[in-house]
Amino acid sequence: MGCLLMSCSSNDDSSSNDGLNAPATYQFTREGSTTVNYSDQITAIIMAEEFVSALIDNGKTEVELNGMFTNTGNHFSTSALNQSTLRLRNSVADSYDFFASNTATADAIKSDFDTWITEQVNGVFPNWNSTASAGTSGMLFEADGLTERRVDAKGLQVHQAINKALLGGFFVDQILNNNLSRAVLDAGTNRIDNDNLVLVSGRNYTAMEHLWDEAFGLIYGKDNAQNPQLLQDFFLNKYISRVENDPDFEGIADDIYDAFKLGRAAIVAKDYDVRDEQIEIIREKISEIIANRCVYYLRQGKNNLITDKANAFHDLSEGYGFIVSLQFTRKTNALSPYFTKSEVDAYLDQMMVGNGFWDVEEATLNQIAFDIASRFNFTVEQAEN
């Protein structure tokens, strides 16, 4: 029945589950027209990239950066972005599963982003070309004498922390805990409508199909959906590639892409058991991406802490942001993240004791890295390659 409603490939090129065939690529059609649409997610990626890039423009004001984060005041490069209904701040920590009944935590997370923006403008920008030291923001050169890193008084590259925290707070949370939430996918009459091919008004897809496509688009929106190249944005697309290139994790990119294909095929075929199996695969693998990068950057930072502080602070700043993102990961077959906000905040506090990265001890970074890896099926040694 699935092949009557979508583009299907031969069995030699497709994955299968209980007799259900998924197409070789993420391509689904109905009556000769595509049923896939994630244009809003492409807009979201572009908007997030412009915001992150603006964070390293020391000519920007706090009003401008906050305006981009909230999409108020026309601070993006195009009228299409400025007129978009998307608000990055509103979309952070905004999933149905984790935050619909937990608005206090959601507000606290959004406030963390506000604080980081303020720190970048008022703490980092004023000393843009001064030399950084413990307790004083400024610029550091890596050991090569060429690469500049601009940090706050505690050694944090604030824009890197925001970038990686946004990766989790927006992209991971929306994918794992909102669009792929069973409560969202099956909300209202969605399942009945999908069973009876009741399409969204004026569209060629059901509500359930579209929700799945939106999750897919937050990873592959700027990529080639039929042949993903990866490294096409600043967020999950990039870091799936990073982890895939580690021989210990080779195949994880295909695992994620294949699960998206088969899950979408299952929706077309009205096989919700197979759909839900793919949701769990996606949750497991994307959560692993976040944890892997936490461990990788913590260990890289530790290894350079004595000999190349600028390089170490850069890695630790990325690790800091990925640790923030841990609270948006999702345990399989559970309604909880691998790490709570309290646990995440405790790790961040350990890294920022005293003068932060200037004072942090290698033992502390090691302890956090081993703690994180212990909840996943990989070792610290595998992740730090």
**Tokens matching residue 212:** 């799945």
Of the candidates 257, 233, 260, the residue with the CA atom closest to the CA atom of residue 244 = 257
Per DSSP, the chain holds a count of helices (H) and strands (E) of 19, 6
d(CA 156, CA 137): 9
What is residue 47's predicted lDDT score, i.e. its pLDDT?
98
Between vectors from CA 42 to CA 22 and to CA 283, what angle results, nearest 5°?
A: 50
Query: 18 pLDDT band (50/70/90 cuts)?
Result: low
Query: 385 pLDDT band (50/70/90 cuts)?
Result: confident
Identify whether the C-beta of residue 52 lies closer than 8 Å to the C-beta of residue 166: yes
DSSP line for 261-289: HHHHHHHHTT-HHHHHHHHHHHHHHHHHH
Of the candidates 11, 8, 5, 12, the residue with the CA atom closest to the CA atom of residue 23 = 8
d(CA 36, CA 356): 46
**Average pLDDT score over residue span 198-213:** 98
Of the candidates 171, 259, 256, 265, the residue with the CA atom closest to the CA atom of residue 214 = 171
Q: Which tens digits make up the pLDDT trace of 225-250?
A: 999 999 999 999 999 999 999 999 99
One-letter identity of residue 69: F
Of the candidates 173, 289, 179, the residue with the CA atom closest to the CA atom of residue 230 = 289
Of the candidates 360, 364, 366, the residue with the CA atom closest to the CA atom of residue 379 = 366
Query: 19 pLDDT band (50/70/90 cuts)?
Result: confident
> Helix or strand or coil: residue 372?
helix
d(CA 7, CA 265): 10
pLDDT at 12 over 70: no
d(CA 147, CA 314): 11
Q: Which tens digits make up the pLDDT trace of 268-326?
A: 999 999 999 999 999 999 999 999 999 999 999 999 999 999 999 999 999 999 999 99
Domain locations in the chain?
2-37+170-229+249-282, 42-169+288-383
